[in-house]
């Protein structure tokens, strides 16, 4: 390995560490502002960290002289998986992607009473938990229902005011 390759590797690893901590602080700040559950924060931080690790691994591989043709195959496969994650409703990855989007941009949180409008299949209840794959709702009679994040992302969600007695 050349001295440039070694220096580049050090810069990439330092950059990973800096971006990881900056992203962590950003996620924590958003979580504090929106009063988001700690489990959701953990899920989001984990997904972001895994993405950063993949990017760091690729950059370090390039600096170590790994053949570009092998990385091209890897990139093609990764983009295909990412494409499925964003566009395939049935995909597990689409639920993870939707979970991240729900985390940053949706106005409801754990404890809110919501109605997910889905025609005759509408569902309502109090949000018990938002995981990487599902929103868990506590319905009437303590009935627990799960609803995939990718569908929550696509459907209208009505936040209902708490009934006051």
Q: Mean pLDDT across the chain, nearest whole number?
A: 83
| Domain 109-160 coded CATH 3.40.50.720 | no
Q: Report the alpha-carbon distance of residue 117 to residue 119 in Å, rounded.
A: 6
CATH 2.30.30.60 residue window(s) in the chain = 109-160
Q: Report the alpha-carbon distance of residue 104 to residue 30 in Å, rounded.
A: 8
Burial 71-108 (b: 16+ CB within 10 A, else e): eeeeeeeeeeeeeebeeeeebeebbbbbbbebbeebeb
Q: Report the alpha-carbon distance of residue 65 to residue 110 in Å, rounded.
A: 47
Instruction: List, for residues 38-57, the tens digit of each pLDDT value.
Output: 888 888 898 899 889 988 98
Q: Where does the pLDDT of residue 3 fall: very low under 50, low under 70, confident under 90, or very high at 90 and above? A: confident
Q: For residue 66, give both structure tokens.
A: 């790994």
Which residue has better confidence, 119 or 161?
119
Q: For residue 165, give both structure tokens.
A: 């007695």
* pLDDT attached to residue 126: 94
Say whether pTM exceeds 0.75.
no
CATH 1.10.287 residue window(s) in the chain = 3-104
| Domain range 3-104, its CATH number among 1.10.10, 3.30.70, 1.10.4040, 1.10.287 | 1.10.287
Instruction: List, for residues 114-160, the tens digit of each pLDDT value.
Output: 999 988 889 999 999 888 788 899 998 999 999 888 888 888 889 88
């Amino acid at each position: 390995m050349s001295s440039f390759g070694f220096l580049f590797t050090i810069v990439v690893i330092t950059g990973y560490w800096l971006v990881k901590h900056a992203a962590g602080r950003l996620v924590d700040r958003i979580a504090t502002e929106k009063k988001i559950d700690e489990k959701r924060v953990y899920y989001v931080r984990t997904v972001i960290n895994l993405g950063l690790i993949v990017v760091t691994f690729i950059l370090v591989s390039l600096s170590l002289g790994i053949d570009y043709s092998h990385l091209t195959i890897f990139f093609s496969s990764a983009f295909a998986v990412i494409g499925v994650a964003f566009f395939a409703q049935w995909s597990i990855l689409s639920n993870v992607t939707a979970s991240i989007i729900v985390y940053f941009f949706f106005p409801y949180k754990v404890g809110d009473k919501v109605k997910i409008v889905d025609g005759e299949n509408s569902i309502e209840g109090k949000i018990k938990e938002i995981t990487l794959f599902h929103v868990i709702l506590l319905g009437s009679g303590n009935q627990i229902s799960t609803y995939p994040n990718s569908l929550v992302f696509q459907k209208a969600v009505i936040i209902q005011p708490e009934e006051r007695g």
